[in-house]
């Protein structure tokens, strides 16, 4: 790319740049400009968590990586502002960084080491099976009990941001309902909830199994049957746990409205 084209990109507004990047995700020049234009978000959000036992530079690095991740995932066609989309992602990664720090200090070394083995096993088995392995399959591969796998997963469960307006296709009566619909919100409230980091905080209250169910249903758009097969449990169990999580979500949501 020549300097004239790069200068032209630099003179464009953010929405124009995101449209170009949406059409061509390999455009490194536009991607770099978008990163530079939005690094202020990483700086501002990093400063909010200063003086809590972690170096600012470490926080800024985590926030910057989260920003890049948000830029790569942002879909301008959905109509909401990038800052509203990126803020929960960045804050979520910063909080996860703090959780990991605390986890390292509080969780027994045996569980920490087992969690690393399980993580590596999941990556290997996903490639071999071309799907997410079940706890029993991980246990068999590592020659440990399924209870040990579940214990380690419970201690180190992760987080993935989930959108309230992501539909969950299924063969049930409420197949077209979104997570937001189930809470009883209106479309105009989605942006407010995302800005308040509601979903991030709610996901932090779930255990590993619950996270995988919500992630599969509302983030990966999977049916209950598919999730049940992946997790090695019955479809009825997935349905029961999903209803339980939604009820919990309703209660949490009612606290902020």
Dig out the tokens for 251 from the structure: 């209660």
**Is the distance from CB of 183 to CB of 164 less than 8 angstroms?**
yes
Pick the closest to residue 257 from 162, 202, 183, 206 (CA basis): 183
Dig out the tokens for 165 from the structure: 């307006």
pLDDT at 85: 85
**Low-confidence spans in the chain with pLDDT less than 70:** 1-6, 53, 101-107, 154-198, 200-201, 253-257
* Helix pair 56-73, 82-106: axis angle to 10 deg: 130
Domains and CATH numbers, the chain: 3-102 (1.20.120.1810), 107-156 (1.10.10.10), 158-257 (1.10.10)
DSSP 117-132: HHHHHHHHHHHHHSSP
**Sign, CA torsion 21/26/29/33:** positive
pLDDT at 2: 57
Pick the closest to residue 81 from 178, 191, 185 (CA basis): 191
pLDDT at 71: 93
**Sign, CA torsion 17/69/191/168:** positive
pLDDT at 105: 53
Bridge partners, residue 178, by sequence: 167
Cβ partners under 8 Å of residue 134, min gap 6: 230, 231, 232
Cβ partners under 8 Å of residue 60, min gap 6: 42, 43, 46
pTM equals 0.43
Cβ partners under 8 Å of residue 146, min gap 6: 135, 136, 139
């Amino acid at each position: 790319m020549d300097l004239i084209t790069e200068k032209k990109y630099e003179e464009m507004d953010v929405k124009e740049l995101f449209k170009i990047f949406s059409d061509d995700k390999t455009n490194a020049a536009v991607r770099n400009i978008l990163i530079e234009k939005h690094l202020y978000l990483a700086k501002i959000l990093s400063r909010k968590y200063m003086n809590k036992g972690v170096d600012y530079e470490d926080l800024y690095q985590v926030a910057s990586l989260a920003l890049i991740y948000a830029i790569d995932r942002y879909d301008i066609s959905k109509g909401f502002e990038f800052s509203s989309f990126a803020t929960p992602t960045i804050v979520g990664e910063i909080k996860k960084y703090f959780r990991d720090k605390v986890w390292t200090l509080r969780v027994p070394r045996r569980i920490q080491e087992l969690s690393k083995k399980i993580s590596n096993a999941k990556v290997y088995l996903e490639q071999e099976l071309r799907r997410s392995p079940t706890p029993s399959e991980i246990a068999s591969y590592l020659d440990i009990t399924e209870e040990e796998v579940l214990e380690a997963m419970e201690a180190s469960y992760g987080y993935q941001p989930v959108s309230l307006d992501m539909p969950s296709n299924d063969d049930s009566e409420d197949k077209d309902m979104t997570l937001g619909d189930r809470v009883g919100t209106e479309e105009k409230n989605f942006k407010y909830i995302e800005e308040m980091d509601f979903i991030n905080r709610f996901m932090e209250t779930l255990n590993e199994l619950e996270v995988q169910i919500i992630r599969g249903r509302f983030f990966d758009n999977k049916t209950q049957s598919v999730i049940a097969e992946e997790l090695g449990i019955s479809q009825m169990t997935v349905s029961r746990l999903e209803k339980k999580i939604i009820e919990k979500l309703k209660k949490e949501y009612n606290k902020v409205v």
